[in-house]
Structure 1
């Protein structure tokens, strides 16, 4: 008699069980983050986030099948994922989506034989989905955020360079402190005014590219056989043949000639909204630049307020500014979907490089004066 029983599945190893249970915990936690974000959204964004919840539940079911009776008690998720859940519950902001984008990009499923090919592909698609959701927030944030980051970084670096450069010349502590405060006020006012003028000018330049709203009123007066209406559409990006066809439709009454041209108005208004959102508000940019420059520039002056002088003041200022530069770089990394540590180190190197050059020049100047 032939034995028709299939061979029993081999028992998973202890390391496999631990890894699968960790995957299970992470999938559950990520599903909870997406569900929390969905509860704070509506419409299409909510539907997209709930679709991600369903996908994470499918992955959860895969690990449950592999674990079978070895599921055990729920494991604690990674600290990063727990923090994401906390932020999603408290804020539900662009920061959470940016962090989730990074989490999805670091999925280990591509190198794990126990995860299916479809699961690995899912994680890559999830990264793109989250990237798309985060893009909307990044666009609205980019103008003001650019001014804020630039202002804080400039305040940190320029005033640190000023303070340690003055200290290196050997002048008294009161003069260094006065120079630091003067640098703070002058830089903050200059940054705020510069950002306002810059952003305002950019918005005016973008507005100048929009169609003149009164142009549609003269369409009935154009010669139907010889006119430049097609050139308008070509200038807005239409192919020559499409531009000619659309111009004929407009002039021969296939569309209503009394009203705005949908082909131009819709495209122009959409482009205008996107462009203006990316640039941001001039007043917001100026205010955030002023405030963040001031908050950055005050840090190198703090040791002087507490009476530190000479090398001690320089070292403490450098440490405080270094921490602030790394935090600024890390925030930029998070929001841009890049590794925070890499951005933090880059910010630190650039800032300290500029300050070091100024310090050396201060030493040389002080030596020459002496």
Structure 2
């Protein structure tokens, strides 16, 4: 129902109607939720909303304590908006606000992280929480409140972007290394065990796989990232035009081709040529003018990561993943029991790494965890079957 529609006279109620509530600053509530006596379920739901709004506002304030400048102001503005939503539910509840309800586990967990860590993980969780807001379907929330939550998700997404960029290079190598270690060494252990060799041979094979894989992953990531950064750096324009421009033949000026090749429109390229040649008498369109060059020490490929950082992350995380499947053998388990324990441990680790990827990407941790689990255990099962076939043929 439109916010401009004329409301019917409300029935007497011990609870203030949302339409008559100026404290929230978020506009009138949807009329269908403002014209009836609140049920016990309504009161319970409003109290939960109130507790969650208070917890979310506290999260943003805690994050703001570790920030400065514009980012701090943005976080405090988000906390202020959550405060307006809190006032909405307080006004609806009136005397029935009662004892404060405990916030949801998700809100309390995010609050704990914000108070003690304050990292991109918190922003990723906050982004997901804003995206799951029930206000769009709740008749007692205002349209403005539902719109606020949608906008908040985009604001938090923007705040998390820098942290994600800083993590992207090393995080990719870490996730890739850990999963490769888990899956490849579990597959190796399963295949060797299925072939019928002794448990000591399986353990030695696992240790060899750990060392060889970690060294290979570290060296591969170093070369991969270094090559990628060199390739990207080769595409950055040089400043040769500054030195060459004064000596060019104006009648056959090839400087225009430089800017056209860089993707400029013909108009912008001609404008830039005249600017470089010192022929521009007036600047009628400032947007076409030469912009200041970026400082040399600014990292143009931050999301790619550094070669050494990626190599070290890949080496360490591959080793940490590859040791998991051989832990049962290290502690003396043999046969089927060792394989079952190895499979369970690796499965839990795959769920964990997949969940972390889901959290940081703002998607479902469970979905990403199950995806990792299915791929990893599927590869191990195939290798186990191949080991059985190999053992039968050789035997």
For Structure 1 versus Structure 2, the TM-score category normalised by the shorter chain is over 0.9
Aligned pair partner of 1:154 in 143, 168, 180:
180
Is 1:340 aligned to 2:365, yes or no? Answer: yes
Q: What's 2:113 paired with?
A: 87
Q: Distance in 2 between matches of 1:364 and 1:268?
A: 61
Count of residue pairs the alignment pairs up = 359
Q: What's 1:242 paired with?
A: 268
Aligned pair partner of 1:8 in 12, 16, 25:
12
User: Do the aligned partners of 1:236 and 1:264 also contact (CA within 8 Å) in 2?
Assistant: no
After TM superposition, the structure 1 = structure 2 runs for residues 111-130 of structure 1, keeping only pairs within 5 Å, are: 111-130=137-156
| Change in CA separation of 1:153 and 1:7 when aligned onto 2, cut-off 3 Å | closer
After TM superposition, the structure 1 = structure 2 runs for residues 1-370 of structure 1, keeping only pairs within 5 Å, are: 7-9=11-13, 10-254=36-280, 263=290, 266=293, 273-274=299-300, 276-370=301-395
Q: Distance in 1 between matches of 2:178 and 2:78?
A: 36
Q: Distance in 2 between matches of 1:216 and 1:262?
A: 15
Q: Distance in 2 between matches of 1:74 and 1:235?
A: 64
Q: What's 2:21 paired with?
A: none
User: CA shift at 1:269, angstroms?
Assistant: 7.0
Per mean C-alpha deviation after superposition, the further-off stretch among 209-218 and 50-59 is: 209-218
Q: Distance in 1 between matches of 2:179 and 2:290?
A: 43
User: CA shift at 1:267, angstroms?
Assistant: 6.9
Q: Distance in 1 between matches of 2:60 and 2:225?
A: 35
Q: What's 1:258 paired with?
A: none
Q: What's 2:4 paired with?
A: none
Aligned-residue Cα RMSD (Å) equals 1.9
Q: Distance in 2 between matches of 1:22 and 1:269?
A: 52
Q: Secondary structure at the match of 1:263?
A: coil
User: CA shift at 1:236, angstroms?
Assistant: 2.2
Q: Secondary structure at the match of 1:273?
A: coil
Q: Tell me the TM-score normalised to structure 1 length.
A: 0.93
Q: Distance in 1 between matches of 2:233 and 2:205?
A: 41
Q: Distance in 1 between matches of 2:154 and 2:390?
A: 54
Per mean C-alpha deviation after superposition, the further-off stretch among 109-118 and 234-243 is: 234-243
Q: Secondary structure at the match of 2:290?
A: helix
User: CA shift at 1:194, angstroms?
Assistant: 0.1
CA offsets 1:207-255 (integer angstroms, 9 cap, x no match): 1111223441222111233212122222222111111122112212549
Q: Distance in 1 between matches of 2:108 and 2:10?
A: 42
Per mean C-alpha deviation after superposition, the further-off stretch among 149-158 and 301-310 is: 301-310
User: Do the aligned partners of 1:211 and 1:264 also contact (CA within 8 Å) in 2?
Assistant: no
| Change in CA separation of 1:181 and 1:265 when aligned onto 2, cut-off 3 Å | farther
User: Do the aligned partners of 1:210 and 1:268 also contact (CA within 8 Å) in 2?
Assistant: no
User: Do the aligned partners of 1:163 and 1:180 also contact (CA within 8 Å) in 2?
Assistant: yes
Higher helix residue share: 1
Q: Distance in 2 between matches of 1:54 and 1:163?
A: 55
Consecutive aligned runs of 4 or more in structure 1 exceeding 6 Å deviation: 267-270
User: Do the aligned partners of 2:275 and 2:289 also contact (CA within 8 Å) in 1?
Assistant: no
User: CA shift at 1:118, angstroms?
Assistant: 0.9
CA offsets 1:284-330 (integer angstroms, 9 cap, x no match): 00000000000000000101111111111110100000000000000
User: CA shift at 1:48, angstroms?
Assistant: 1.1
Runs of 5+ unmatched residues, structure 2: 1-8, 14-35, 282-287
User: Do the aligned partners of 2:242 and 2:276 also contact (CA within 8 Å) in 1?
Assistant: no
Per mean C-alpha deviation after superposition, the further-off stretch among 205-214 and 195-204 is: 205-214
Runs of 5+ unmatched residues, structure 1: 256-260
User: Do the aligned partners of 1:104 and 1:126 also contact (CA within 8 Å) in 2?
Assistant: yes
